[in-house]
């Protein structure tokens, strides 16, 4: 698996998309899961940028390209993609983003730029360890961690809207 580009900087994003789709196909094949056309298309739409996409944005884009779908179609595709770890849900934004570590067991940290909207997904072991230690100290059994950090990405610092 090749190194991923940093989302903030200009890069050949088509590579990100292709890689994500290829990985998804492989992951689904290994688990006998059916990456149907709709599911694959939704995944591709989510990967169209490094900004999270809302369910109704997906719905609108599907509609614009002729496939007039209803909400359940989109939510079911999203459920599938979540289940197989191909996307993540960003709770603080009610939106979805492609997983940058699909296939790898990981706990994610999301750095969300409030200015440009780009999200960087990290899997930092020290953070996970600190969180799990804190939970353990309270005898709490961790199942799922939602860690979303809002702020300014490197590109947007200094670009304070005084223009």
Per the annotation, binding residues are: 113, 116, 153, 156
- Of 19, 65, 14, which Cα lies nearest the Cα of 38? 65
| 48, two tokens | 């169209």
Q: Which stretch binds DNA (CB under 7 A): 62-70, 110-118, 125-133, 141-149?
A: 62-70
Q: What residues from 93 to 122 belong to the interface with Zn ion (CB under 5 A)?
A: 113, 115-116
CA distance 111 to 151: 7
Minimum Å gap between C-beta 73 and Zn ion is 26
Place of tokens 């719905």: 59
Distance CA 114, CA 86 (A): 24
Round to whole Å and give the CA distance between 125 and 128.
Answer: 5
Here's the x/- map for Zn ion, 135-154, by CB under 5 A: it reads as ------------------x-
- CB-nearer residue toward a copy of itself: 38 or 122: 122
> What is the signed CA dihedral for 108, 114, 117, 121, rounded to 10 degrees?
-10
Name the binder of 116 from Zn ion, a copy of itself, DNA, none, CB < 5-8 A by kind.
Zn ion
Residue 114 to residues 149, 154, 159: CA-CA distances in angstroms? 10, 12, 12
Which of a copy of itself, Zn ion, DNA, none does residue 27 bind to, with CB < 5 to 8 Å depending on kind? none
Task: Confirm or reject binding of residue 54 to DNA (CB under 7 A).
Answer: yes
Does residue 101 interact with DNA by CB under 7 A? no
Site residues (vs a copy of itself, CB under 8 A):
91-92, 109, 111, 113-114, 120, 122, 124, 126-127, 129-131, 133-135, 138-154, 157
């Amino acid at each position: 698996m090749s190194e991923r580009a940093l989302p903030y900087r200009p890069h050949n994003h088509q590579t990100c998309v292709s890689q994500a789709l290829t990985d998804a196909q492989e992951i689904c094949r290994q688990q006998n899961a059916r990456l149907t056309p709709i599911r694959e298309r939704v995944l591709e739409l989510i990967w169209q940028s490094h900004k999270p996409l809302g369910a109704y944005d997906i719905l609108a884009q599907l509609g614009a390209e002729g496939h007039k779908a209803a909400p359940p179609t989109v939510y079911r595709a999203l459920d599938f993609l979540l289940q197989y770890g191909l996307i993540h849900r960003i709770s603080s934004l009610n939106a979805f983003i492609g997983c940058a570590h699909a296939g790898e067991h990981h706990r994610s940290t999301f750095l969300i730029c409030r200015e440009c909207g780009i999200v960087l997904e990290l899997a930092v072991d020290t953070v996970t360890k600190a969180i799990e230690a804190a939970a353990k100290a309270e005898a709490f059994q961790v199942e799922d961690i939602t860690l979303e950090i809002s702020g300014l990405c490197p590109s947007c610092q200094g670009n304070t809207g005084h223009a």
